Amino acid sequence: MAQDATAQDSTLPSPSPARTAWQQWRMLREESLAAEFGWLTLTSYQWLPSAPAPVELVPGRFGAGPDGAVFEPDGAEVLGCDDDAPVTAPLTRALAEGESVDWLRTRDVTGQDTVVELGVRGGRYMVRTHARRSPQLDAFDGVPTFDYNPAWVVPGRFEAYPEPRPVEVGTYRPDTRLDKVLAGEVVFEMPAAFPHRLAAEQNPDGSLAIAFHDASNGDTTPEWRFVTVPAPGPDGTVTLDFNRTLFYPFAFSQFAVCPRPPEGNRLEIAVNAGERSERPAPTGGFATGGNPTGVSTTGGPATGGNPTDGSTTGGPATGVDPTGGTATAEGGARHTGE
């Protein structure tokens, strides 16, 4: 009997190279989401006041002035993330719009480490705190996806604008708007006969970042998602692989910013490809706690965490390998995707 079963199994078709590559890519994506001090460990988002004052979860006083963000120690142990040395005098750090850095690190009486991320969003300085461990990280069991479908690998072409177009977009946070620069439009036909057009940002490596709404939003997906397209060929040809559509970080945390798609980036079809929710997701504004979009977990409610928010370039992810970092990230690194 065992020999018969083995022989029968050997006749099963092997996964296609494209499906295998997608499965490997998904594995890297989820490994990066679960990184230490990553998006699944967020515990707060706080705007800095104009005059140094206490903030939640971190000792000392924080403020934002004309020379940048200011931290004033109050005697409790705080270490600099750059050199791991104790901070005994006031610090000032200036960042550009869209930038984020791990600035400070503290440890509470239980031995739990907290990393303080400093960033600029919408012209204002903010700090976000990341715990080494969190209930959401401990419970994380992956992000649900639609099954891989080669029909969602679509040829198209990129039509660059004569000049880049600056636009202002809303975000997941009702108190924040962001400036983006659109490079052109990606035109494709799928699945209807008429062409679809989506405006795109162009990343430093030439790839295209496309944030979009579609008819699945609010049902099986959050209100918007994004996909990164490899750099266009010399003739403008591109390939859109919607199987690689990803969540923005608001799918994982109330402490996200996340740019909304530019006006007009809406597909009237349901893109049943890429990452999906286990239950209907929020449609904008702040989450009220827990796990906003039903990302697969095995434990209780989440307390924060967010794998695609905050960018060193001020825009969405900048590559196609979801492990983190410019040109090698697609939504997995902490400083990727706002």
Rounded CA gap, 332 and 317, in Å?
A: 8
Burial class (CB in 10 A: 0-12, 13-18, 19+), 75: exposed
What residues pair up with 55 in beta bridges, in sequence order? 58
pLDDT in tens, 314-331: 333 333 344 333 223 344
2: three-class secondary structure by DSSP: helix
**Cβ atoms 303, 275 nearer than 8 A:** no
Residue 125 above 50 pLDDT? yes
Tell me, what's the pLDDT at 278?
81
Q: Contact at 8 Å (CB) between 243 and 22?
A: yes
Cα Rg of the chain, angstroms: 21
DSSP element (H, E) containing 160: strand 153-170
DSSP state of 21: H
Q: Choose the weakest-confidence range: 72-76, 86-90, 190-194.
A: 190-194
Q: Which residue has the tokens 């530019």?
A: 262
Q: With a cut of 90, say whether residue 133 has pLDDT above it.
A: no
- 318/184 Cα distance (integer angstroms): 16
pLDDT attached to residue 338: 65
* pLDDT tens sequence across 21-70: 999 999 999 998 998 898 899 999 999 999 999 999 999 999 999 999 99
Interacting residues of 198 by C-beta distance below 8 A, sequence separation 6+: 185, 186, 210, 212, 265, 267
Residue type for position 267: L
Length of the chain: 338
Q: What is the pLDDT of residue 109?
A: 67
pLDDT at 303 over 50: no
pTM of the complete model beyond 0.85? no
Average pLDDT over residues 98-117: 90
| Residue 102 structure tokens | 């791990």
Contact present, 310 and 119 (Cβ < 8 Å): yes
Q: How far apart are CA 141 and CA 164, in angstroms?
A: 40
Calculated CA dihedral for residues 272, 278, 282, 283, nearest 10 degrees: 20
Q: Could you tell me which of 181, 178, 76, 52 has the C-alpha nearest to residue 127?
A: 52
| CB-based contact 320:264 (threshold 8 Å) | no
Q: What is the pLDDT at residue 15?
A: 80
- Kindly list the domain boundaries of the chain, sorted by start residue: 42-133, 139-303+311-338
The answer to whether residue 134 scores a pLDDT higher than 80 is: yes
